[in-house]
Amino acid sequence: MAVSSHELIAGFADPVQASQQVFRAALKVMSEPGTRVEVDYVEQAPKGLDLSTWQLALSLLDPDTRVWLSPTLASSDAVISNLRFHCQCPLVEFPKDADFAIALNTELPQLAELNWGSAEYPDRSTTLVVQVPALSAEPFWTLSGPGIEHTRSLRIAGLPDAFRAELIKSRQRFPLGIDTFWCCDNRLTALPRTTKIEPRTTAIEPLNTEQEAC
Partner 1 sequence: MSTATGYNFAYLDEQSKRMIRRAILKGVAIPGYQVPFGGREMPLPHGWGTGGMQVTASVIGETDKLKVIDQGADDTTNAVSIRRFFAHTAGVETTEQTADATLIQTRHRIPERPLQADQILIYQVPIPEPLRFIEPRESETRKMHALSEYGAMQVKLYEDVARFGHIATSYDYPVMVNNRYMMDPSPIPKFDNPKMSMMPALQLFGAGFEKRIYAVPPFTQVESLDFDDHPFEVQSWDEACAICGSDHSFLDEVITDDNGSKMFVCSDTDYCRERVEQGFVGTAADLPIADLSIAEVETN
Q: Kindly tell me which of 43 and 123 has the beta carbon lying closer to partner 1.
A: 123
- For residue 94, the minimal CB distance to partner 1 (Å) is 21
DSSP reduced 3-state for 127? strand
- For residue 8, the minimal CB distance to partner 1 (Å) is 20
Q: Kindly tell me which of 59 and 189 has the beta carbon lying closer to partner 1.
A: 59
Helix or strand (DSSP H, E) at 58: helix 51-60
- For residue 152, the minimal CB distance to partner 1 (Å) is 10
DSSP string, 63-101: TT--EEE-HHHHT-HHHHHHIIIII-PPB-SSGGG-SEE
d(CA 159, CA 176): 22
Binding residues for partner 1, per CB under 8 A? 15-17, 19-21, 23-24, 26-28, 30-32, 59-62, 64-65, 99, 118-123, 125, 127, 145-149, 174-175, 177, 179, 192-194
Q: Kindly tell me which of 17 and 72 has the beta carbon lying closer to partner 1.
A: 17
Q: Minimal CA–CA distance to 158: which of 140, 177, 144, 179?
A: 140
Q: Kindly tell me which of 62 and 93 has the beta carbon lying closer to partner 1.
A: 62
d(CA 160, CA 191): 17
- For residue 164, the minimal CB distance to partner 1 (Å) is 19
- For residue 80, the minimal CB distance to partner 1 (Å) is 20
Q: Kindly tell me which of 15 and 206 has the beta carbon lying closer to partner 1.
A: 15
Measure Cα distances from 196 to 58, 145, 186, 214 in Å: 29, 6, 25, 14
d(CA 136, CA 95): 28
- Letter string b/e over residues 57-75, b meaning 16 or more CB atoms within 10 A of that residue's CB: bbbbbeeebbbbbbeebbe
Q: Kindly tell me which of 37 and 134 has the beta carbon lying closer to partner 1.
A: 37
- For residue 202, the minimal CB distance to partner 1 (Å) is 27
